Amino acid sequence: MKLPRLIPNALRSLFRRPTTRRYPAEVRKPYAGSRGEIVNDASACILCGLCARRCPTSCIEVDKHLCLWVHDPFACVLCGWCAEVCPTDSLTQTEQRPTPRTVRQRTELHPTPPQRPAKPKDA
C-alpha cells in the first residue's frame, strides 16, 4: 500500500507557501541588469542614427532633417544593442518590462540636433 506514504506529503503541502504568485496583484522585482523598456532622453540625443543602424528588427527610425526619433515598441525585441552603441548614453534600457498596451502606438521624439560650431572668420 502506497497510500499511507502520501499522508506526510499531503500535510506538508497543506501548510506550505504556494509556489506561484498572485500575478497582477503581486509582481516580482526584476533582477539587476534585466532587459526592459527602451527609453530615450530627447535632451541628450544628437540624432546620430547609430541605434537605428544597429537595430536587428529596424524598429528605430532616425531622421536628422525632420529632427525625428521614432521607436516602435511592438517591433522591438529588447536586445539592448541600441543602448549599448549610443555614444551620448541618451538611450537607456530600464529594468522594467513593457506592460501590455491597448493601442498600437510608436514613440516619437523631437530632439534638437547639436549645433555645429561656427566657422572662425579669417582675420
Partner 1 sequence: MGRTVIPFGPQHPVLPEPIHLTLTLEDDIIVEALPRLGYIHRGLELLARKRTPDQMVQVVERVCGICSMMHGMCFCQALEDIHGITPPPRAQWLRVFWAEVHRLHSHLLWLGLFADALGFENLFMQFWRVRERIMDIQEATSGNRVVVSVSVIGGVRRDLNPDQMLWCRTELAGVRDEVHRLGKAMLGDYSIAKRTKGIGVLTPERAHALGTVGPTLRGSGVAHDIRMLDQEIYGAMEFKPCVENDGDSWARLTVRIRETEQSVDLALGTLDRLPQGEIAVKPKGQAEGEAVRRVEQPRGEALYFVKADGGKLLDRVRIRTPTFANIPALLDLLPGHSLADAPVLVMTIDPCISCTER
Q: Quick check: 55 binds partner 1 (CB under 8 A)?
A: yes
Q: Quick check: 80 binds partner 1 (CB under 8 A)?
A: yes
Q: List the 107-109 sheet strands across, edge first.
A: 60-63, 68-71, 107-109
Nearer to partner 1, 2 or 121 (CB): 2
For residues 35 and 86, the answer to whether their CB atoms sit within 8 Å is no
In whole angstroms, the minimum distance from the beta carbon of 101 to partner 1 comes to 20
Q: Quick check: 113 binds partner 1 (CB under 8 A)?
A: no
For residues 121 and 53, the answer to whether their CB atoms sit within 8 Å is no
Q: Quick check: 81 binds partner 1 (CB under 8 A)?
A: yes
Q: For partner 1, which stretch binds (CB under 8 A), given 43-51, 61-69, 79-87, 112-120?
A: 79-87
d(CA 93, CA 79): 9
Q: Which of residues 24-53 bind partner 1 (CB under 8 A)?
A: 30-35
Nearer to partner 1, 10 or 118 (CB): 10
In whole angstroms, the minimum distance from the beta carbon of 32 to partner 1 comes to 8
Across the strands, what pairs with 38? Answer: 93
